[in-house]
Amino acid sequence: MLQIQSTVKQIQLTTIFFFMTISIGFAQSSIKVIKAGRVIDTENGSVLDGRMILIANDTIKEIGKNIKIPDKAEVIDLSNATVLPGLIDCHTHITFQSGDNYYERFRKSIVDYAILAPSYAKNTLEAGFTSVRDVGSSNFLDVALKKAINSNKIPGPRMQTATYFISSTGGHGDLNGFSPMLDSREPIEMSGIANGVDEVRQKVRYLVKYGADVIKFGASAGVLSEEESVGAPQYTQEEMNAIVAEAKMWGRKSCAHAHGAEAIKMAIKAGVASIEHGSLIDDEGIALMIKNGTYLVADVYNDDYIIEEFLKLGYPQKIIDKEKIVGLKQRQNFRKALQAGVKIAYGTDAGVYPHGGNGKQFSHMVRWGMTTMQAIQSATINAADLMGWKTKTGSIAVGKYADIIAVVGNPIDEIKLLENVQFVMKGGQVFKNSIKK
């Protein structure tokens, strides 16, 4: 066991060294003025024509039709584009990406994942997603990645990290379908596995100690794991209550992976901030979400990718069969929850499909009942509210971060434009601009 722990520490040091030795030039003018053809006001659900946005360092200082341009300010002409606040994805796994199932399980080491993670972060940022909530990683790679991004060593979105996904033994966050000898590759502490009220409380404390911003746990079974069930509860009500209460004591929100109707209701009663997936939610669960102000984060795009690609990637047939059961019901229940008035935040499960394709979900949300403005709000002001960042981001407003994106055309008329974001600014720094004057 001591030898395993020593190896893990060596890997972590290697990872940190890798991040710390990457450097890129971010030097740009600290004063900028954006000339926007249109600005989407996500707080009021309206489109404003002909606005100028004055930015100092990382913050929006003034918005108006005719503001004075300071001397030596950099002027960015987006007069032929629609400008939006940076997008937010509340359900990502930014330190890994689905590939060949056998290779991913048995050939890759934590160092492989550490080396690839910066490219996933870059792809996400360049897709227009300036903030993410990352809800499941291993070996605290997400924390190391966030630190490297925050210190401008590598480009990437602002991150809230969940670190390990808390799971019962044999649950969705535990290895299933393999020999017990493979399940014991890491010390149990270096995992999300916990059982019973005392253990789950200890696990929350452990994760918070090492960098968790949000706590995620498996309320139910899942699709991309080998349990027989898709939605059966995998924690008791007392265990769920303990996880949420402990997270709250440490100033953290919690979210629950939950497909099954009963597990969803148990997690809501425990007090989670959001239900992830929510595939088989029933009328009682919808009513509970509305009563408690619980957000739904439903990944209504990636069913397409799983059905089309996962057999080719060597995933077991039982996983594909579970997805076929869940996918359509999830979308139908998404529409049902939306119509009932459940709060919706944008979350895609990026990592299941390639990072950078996060914007593909917008058109699916519109197809299943949202207006284009509602879809945009789900990925801006609503997502910021769920993350507790509403005073920092989620809209283009004075005092907020200059997290700004743009597309040629109007996404209110054509939501698919957000699949190809052409201008990306985060914190006043331009990371992408392919808009021609």
What average pLDDT score do residues 119-141 get?
97
- For 256-287, write each residue's pLDDT tens digit: 999 999 999 999 999 999 999 999 999 999 99
pLDDT band at 402 (very low <50, low <70, confident <90, very high): very high
| Residue 108 in tokens | 């890759």
Cβ-based neighbour number of residue 105 at 10 Å: 13
Higher pLDDT, 80 or 179: 80
CATH class of 87-387: alpha beta
- For 301-342, write each residue's pLDDT tens digit: 988 888 888 888 888 888 888 888 888 999 999 999 999 999
User: What DSSP assignment string belongs to 96-165?
Assistant: -----HHHHHHT--HHHHHHHHHHHHHHHHHTTEEEEEE---STTHHHHHHHHHHTTSS---EEEE--SP
83 beta partners: 39, 406
Domain residue spans in the chain?
31-85+395-433, 87-387
- For 32-69, write each residue's pLDDT tens digit: 999 999 999 999 999 999 999 999 999 999 999 999 99
Query: 137, 164 in Cβ contact below 8 A?
Result: yes
Superfamily of domain 31-85+395-433: Urease, subunit C, domain 1 (2.30.40.10)
- Percent share of the chain, pLDDT over 90: 76
Rounded CA separation 270/248 (Å)? 11
The span from the first CA to the last CA of the chain, in angstroms, equals 61
Equal fold, 31-85+395-433 vs 87-387: no
CA atoms lying within 13 Å on the CB side of residue 203: 29
